């Protein structure tokens, strides 16, 4: 509402992350060019936006926010630089939109649990869904990694707020399971980090994984095997009956 540019620059979400000046949101909802909702024109627009987002995710994942240039994104999307900026408004905005998209995917994975759930089922679902997420969106995973590696300037609020609360809630359940003798009394936070890191690894360190295994890519079967391996080792490792 306050300082936003007079041109709309739709994309899908506002740059609600890491706002510096004001608290209110300035929704910036998607605006259709004319009265009609889904014409030929809007279809083309959405196709271009999609291409830009895809290209930008790859570039930012590889080179980070500072290292990724709008020119490189434009080339990867097959558009002139001016067009990219016309669609997204600014480099910063594009980056924020991509981060938001990834955190939305992440949040969609985080369903709640209760003490009465089965530890084996919950942990296995946790591991497998996290593996599936990095499998489905490796570029997004790397984008997230690059952001955190750079000190998480855009995500600090999210990490210290929403995500922290979620982890703490899970941690309490894990502790209660331990009290009931359903699993070992391991530190639940370290356990969650272990699962995150072990799964994240196959996206972030893909060149290392491929180089060492001598593969060109990880197959679906490989991902299945890795998921099985992780479930088996981690569940057994924290004393969950299977």
Partner DNA sequence: GCATGCCTTGACCGATTGGTCAGCTTTGTA
Partner DNA sequence: TACAAAGCTGACCAATCGGTCAAGGCATGC
Residues that bind DNA (CB under 7 A): 5, 33-36, 39-41, 44-45, 48, 68-72, 79-83, 85-87, 90-92
Report CA-CA distances (Å) from 97 to 130, 204, 211.
22, 20, 32
Helix/strand/coil for 165 = helix
CA distance 155 to 145: 11
Residue nearer to its own copies on the CB measure, 79 or 155: 155
Question: Could you tell me the smallest distance in angstroms from the CB atom of residue 47 to DNA?
Answer: 9
Question: Could you tell me the smallest distance in angstroms from the CB atom of residue 154 to DNA?
Answer: 14
Q: Of its own copies, DNA, none, which one does residue 181 interact with (CB within 5 to 8 Å by kind)? A: none
Residue nearer to DNA on the CB measure, 8 or 179: 8
What are the residues binding its own copies (CB under 8 A)? Answer: 61-68, 142, 145-146, 148-152, 155-156, 159-160, 163-164, 167, 186-187, 189-191, 193-194, 196-198, 200-202, 204-205, 207-209, 211-214, 225-226, 229-230, 232-234, 236-239
Residue nearer to DNA on the CB measure, 90 or 197: 90
Which DSSP helix (H) or strand (E) runs through 208? helix 206-213
Q: What is the dihedral of CA 139, 89, 50, 106, to 10 degrees?
A: 40
Question: Could you tell me the smallest distance in angstroms from the CB atom of residue 73 to its own copies?
Answer: 13
Report CA-CA distances (Å) from 8 to 27, 50, 84, 165, 230.
11, 17, 14, 34, 46
Residue nearer to its own copies on the CB measure, 181 or 190: 190
CA distance 37 to 12: 15
Q: Of its own copies, DNA, none, which one does residue 233 interact with (CB within 5 to 8 Å by kind)? A: its own copies
Report CA-CA distances (Å) from 194 to 35, 98, 136, 198, 234.
51, 25, 20, 6, 9
Residue nearer to its own copies on the CB measure, 31 or 66: 66
């Amino acid at each position: 509402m306050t300082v936003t540019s007079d041109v709309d620059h739709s994309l899908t979400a506002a740059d609600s992350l890491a706002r510096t000046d004001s608290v209110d949101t300035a929704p910036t909802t998607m605006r259709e060019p004319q009265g009609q909702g889904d014409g030929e024109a809007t279809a083309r627009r959405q196709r271009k936006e999609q291409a830009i987002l895809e290209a930008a995710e790859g570039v930012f994942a590889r080179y980070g926010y500072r290292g990724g240039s709008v020119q490189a994104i434009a080339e990867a999307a097959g558009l002139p630089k001016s067009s990219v900026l016309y669609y997204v408004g600014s480099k910063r905005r594009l980056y924020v939109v991509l981060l938001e998209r990834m955190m939305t995917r992440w949040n969609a994975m985080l369903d709640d649990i209760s003490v009465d759930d089965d530890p084996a089922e919950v942990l296995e679902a946790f591991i497998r869904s996290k593996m599936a997420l990095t499998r489905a969106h490796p570029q997004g995973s790397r984008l997230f990694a690059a952001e955190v590696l750079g000190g998480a300037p855009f995500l600090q609020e999210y990490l210290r707020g929403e995500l922290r609360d979620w982890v703490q809630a899970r941690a309490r359940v894990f502790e209660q399971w331990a009290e009931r003798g359903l699993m070992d009394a391991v530190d639940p936070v370290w356990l969650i980090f272990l699962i995150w890191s072990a799964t994240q690894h196959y996206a972030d360190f893909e060149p290392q994984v491929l180089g060492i295994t001598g593969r060109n890519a990880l197959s679906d079967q490989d991902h299945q095997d890795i998921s099985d391996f992780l479930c088996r080792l981690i569940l057994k490792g924290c004393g969950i009956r299977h």
